[in-house]
Amino acid sequence: MFSLLKPAAAATPLPAERIDPEYRRQRRNVFIGIFVGYAAFYLVRKNFALAMPDILREYPQYSKAALGSAMTGLSIAYGVSKFIMGSVSDRSNPRWFMTLGLLLTAAVTFVFGTTPAIYGSLTAIVVLQTLNGWFNGMGWPPCG
C-alpha cells in the first residue's frame, strides 16, 4: 500500500512540438481533479453539521454543546493534519495521497451513516469525527 504513495517516477522528456499541447491537456486534467476532489473532501467534512439537528431530535441525551465537542475534534484534527500531512504529501505521489485521504474519510462517513449504535456513545462520535478531520487534512496539501 505504501508503495503507491511513493513519488511518481520522472517522466521522459517530450519533444519540443508536443510540450505545449500536452501541458494544456495536463493543466485541464489537474484543475478538474483538484476541483472535484477538494469539493468531495468539503462535502464529507461538512455533513455532520447538517445532520446535527436530526441527531439532537432522535437522541435527546445530547446537547448542542456535546455534539459541538465532536465538531471541535474535527476542526482541531483537520488543522493539525493539514500541517503534518503537508510534509508527508511533499514526499508522496499527490494523486494517490489525495485518493487515499478521500477514501478514508468516505469510509468514516460510511460508518457514521450505516452504524446507528455509534450515536449511543458521545466518545465514539468524537473519535470518528476527529478521524474524519485528520483524513480530511490529507486533501489540502495535494490541492495546494
Long-range contacts, stretch 39-42, CB < 8 angstroms, 24+ apart: 40/102, 41/101, 41/102, 41/105, 41/136, 41/139, 41/140
- Percent of the chain's residues with pLDDT above 70: 97
Average pLDDT, the chain: 88
As a whole number, mean pLDDT of residues 63-88 equals 93
For 14-143, the fitting CATH number among 1.20.120.450, 3.90.245.10, 1.10.260.40, 1.20.1250.20 is 1.20.1250.20
- Highest-confidence segment of 17-21, 61-65, 87-91: 61-65
Please give the residue that has the higher pLDDT: either 14 or 77: 77
**For range 59-83, the mean pLDDT:** 93
pTM of the model: 0.84
- Can you give the residue ranges of every domain in the chain? 14-143
pLDDT higher than threshold 90 for residue 133: yes
Mean pLDDT of 7-19: 79
